[in-house]
Homo-oligomer: A and B are copies of this chain.
């Protein structure tokens, strides 16, 4: 019996998360994973040479709000059993970014040809998990309603450095009413492994954001007069840091092409 068969449910169907990974592995799904396998945790990916792995792991531990580590591999291994039984990190993301000395050198659909025996994979929690909990509570995610990516900004908030890793925290911004902002603090506090509570609220200039209409990543999302902008630490921070550090080699996910895991979003709630 294959692992794929083992993951079939009682009615013989594949679990939605494995079905998503298999579709991606076979090249049948090539776009964003937003909305794919609802209820299952998706993650940001960073793959680094073993030589940098210990420093990066400590960087994640020192900066748990932007870099909440939810899984990692042993060197050279393309499996991460804690996140999914049938997983090949070389093929199971719909698109990757390959970097050499900080330069983007490829955006392939699988990374077999780039694989090395010294590579360590890190999977970092993603806001898709808490957005699902917010929407389940009736809070509008404006960027989703508009079919856009969330607005992201490099801030004046410094991460805590570890070895060569350092640089500014990236935040995502969601506009909402004050009452929803309060509720969103309560809900996201329950999910520390996917960025947790906001890091800032209102007053973008206090964290070095000069213009909300000029995000550094993602799309512009309109903030209405009765909205308050709410800022969460963002899983793009490691990509920004890696762009600063310019490691000899690394692989990340392509924006929006996340790793779909077998863990459920509800599992991540601490209470």
Contacts and interface: CB of A to CB of B under 8 A. Distances in A.
A172 to B, nearest CB: 15
A201 B250 CA distance: 42
A189 interface: yes
A57 B197 CA distance: 35
Interface stretch (A20-28, A66-74, A175-183): A175-183
Contact of A200 (B178, B198, B201): B178
Contacts of A226: 203, 206
Interface string A112-149: 00000000000000000000000000000000000000
A5 interface: no
Interface in A185-217: 185-186, 189, 197-203, 206
Nearest to A184: B185
Contacts of A198: 182
A241 B113 CA distance: 73
Contacts of A179: 199-200
Number of copies of this chain that the complex holds: 2
Contact of A202 (B197, B200, B228): B228
Interface centre among A185, A197, A203 (most CB of B within 10 A): A185
Interface in A202-250: 202-203, 206, 226, 228
Contact of A185 (B182, B199, B202, B228): B182
A271 interface: yes
Contacts of A185: 182, 185-186, 197
A79 B178 CA distance: 41
A201 B189 contact: no
A226 B203 CA distance: 8
Given A201-B228, A228-B201, A271-B271, A206 B186 contact: no
B186 A202 contact: no
Nearest to A177: B206
Contacts of A202: 178, 201-202, 228
Contacts of A203: 178, 226, 228
B201 A178 contact: yes
A169 to B, nearest CB: 13
24 contacts: A178-B200, A178-B202, A178-B203, A178-B206, A179-B199, A179-B200, A181-B201, A182-B185, A182-B197, A182-B199, A182-B200, A185-B185, A185-B186, A186-B189, A186-B197, A201-B201, A201-B202, A201-B228, A202-B202, A202-B228, A203-B226, A203-B228, A206-B226, A271-B271
